[in-house]
Amino acid sequence: MFRLTTALLWALAPAATLAARCQWSHMQDATDAYLESQTSGKPYAMFLSDKVVYRENNRVISPTVGIITKPLAIAHQHRLYDQDGCATYTEQIVTDPKNPYVIGTQLHFDQLAGGVNVTGIDSIVTTTGDWLFNASKTLSHVLKENWDTIDSDSRADRATLKAIADLYLDLWGNEKSRVPWGMPCDRLEGSAYTGNGSATDSCAVGIPTGPQPPVTDRRYVIDESVGSVSVLCTMGTMRNAPDSHEFRVENGRLRYVHTMTVMRNETALPRMSRVRRTVKIHG
């Protein structure tokens, strides 16, 4: 009797674990609906529910006053799907000269419901005045990169991808952090590119040296199929600016980094003038 019960519990355990994984198709539908809402500026009811926590530039606000109520012509979007974390990330670029935006949005889903219901919308919204902002220039760089699916036999696992993202972000606060730099590696910082497409491009350029405040409040979306991690966070070095970092890993090494940093209304940045001494960014 006892044996049977134990066997039964073992049999049930994997099923319970699987139920926590969110369905790709549910998350895809919700992300489509999110982008339709953003394009029309008329959010679907599911995003306005009081069960959804709406965060914009690291502040919880009402979605009724959020960017989602402003119709935007999205010229480019790129997505990550995280079935274990029950979340998606979408990079959106809006090149309309009157309303330019580069936005990074994480959608978080109810794990128990298998990804049917959205529980959180978390966006970093950058526009004119933000760090190195120029949407059309950002787009021109993004279109030259390859973020395609990675062959299943050469994928890094979830823990490795998260660790690499953390090692990079840990450089602020711990300059000895050992990042597995790829060669080449290109960083798109706002609209500024660290590389020129050569085989020797490095993402290590422009990383601050000396003691820096850490990168905090990290929220992750991890997609092994494209070797990518989205982290929304707070950049201590840039006066606690709301920030988005997205990483692409190939063969266990960092290949691309995209950043968005909200800097509107910032005039003098004393820390940055010291930090940026080492910057060598092309066009």
Ligand X SMILES: *[C@@H]1O[C@H](CO)[C@@H](O)[C@H](O)[C@H]1NC(C)=O
Q: How far is the CB of 188 from ligand X (least distance, A)?
A: 13
152 interacts with ligand X by CB under 6 A: no
In this chain, which stretch among 112-120, 148-156, 212-220, 246-254 interacts with ligand X, using CB under 6 A? 112-120
Taking the least distance from each CB to ligand X, the nearer of 21 and 158 is 21
267 interacts with ligand X by CB under 6 A: no
Please select the residue that binds ligand X; options are 5, 25, 200, 273, rule is CB under 6 A: 200
Q: How far apart are CA 8 and CA 179, in angstroms?
A: 45
Q: How far is the CB of 139 from ligand X (least distance, A)?
A: 9
Q: How far apart are CA 144 and CA 73, in angstroms?
A: 21
Please select the residue that binds ligand X; options are 149, 196, 209, 278, rule is CB under 6 A: 196
Interface residues for ligand X in 14-53 (CB under 6 A)? 49, 51
278 interacts with ligand X by CB under 6 A: no
Please select the residue that binds ligand X; options are 136, 160, 225, 234, rule is CB under 6 A: 136
- Total residues contacting ligand X by CB under 6 A comes to 15
37 is written with which tokens?
């809402």
117 interacts with ligand X by CB under 6 A: yes
Nearest to 133 by CA among 109, 101, 159: 101
113 interacts with ligand X by CB under 6 A: yes
In 127-261, beta strands by DSSP E = 181-189, 192-193, 215-223, 228-235, 241-250, 253-261
In the bound state, the residue with its beta carbon closest to ligand X is 113
Please select the residue that binds ligand X; options are 33, 75, 116, 279, rule is CB under 6 A: 116
In this chain, which stretch among 3-11, 194-202, 222-230, 233-241 interacts with ligand X, using CB under 6 A? 194-202
Nearest to 230 by CA among 151, 152, 154, 147: 147
Q: How far is the CB of 265 from ligand X (least distance, A)?
A: 4
Place of tokens 């080449």: 184
Sequence-ordered list of residues with C-beta below 8 angstroms from that of 35, at least 6 positions apart, any chain: 74, 77, 90, 92
Q: How far is the CB of 120 from ligand X (least distance, A)?
A: 14
244 is written with which tokens?
């988005």
Torsions phi, psi of 168, nearest 5? -65, -50
How far is the CA of 187 from the CAs of 76, 157, 213, in angstroms?
Answer: 18, 22, 21
What is the 8-class DSSP label of residue 36?
H
Taking the least distance from each CB to ligand X, the nearer of 254 and 262 is 262
Q: Which amino acid is at 19?
A: A
Cα of 243 vs its chain's centroid, Å: 9
Interacting residues toward ligand X by CB under 6 A = 49, 51, 110, 113, 116-117, 134, 136-137, 140, 196, 198, 200, 264-265
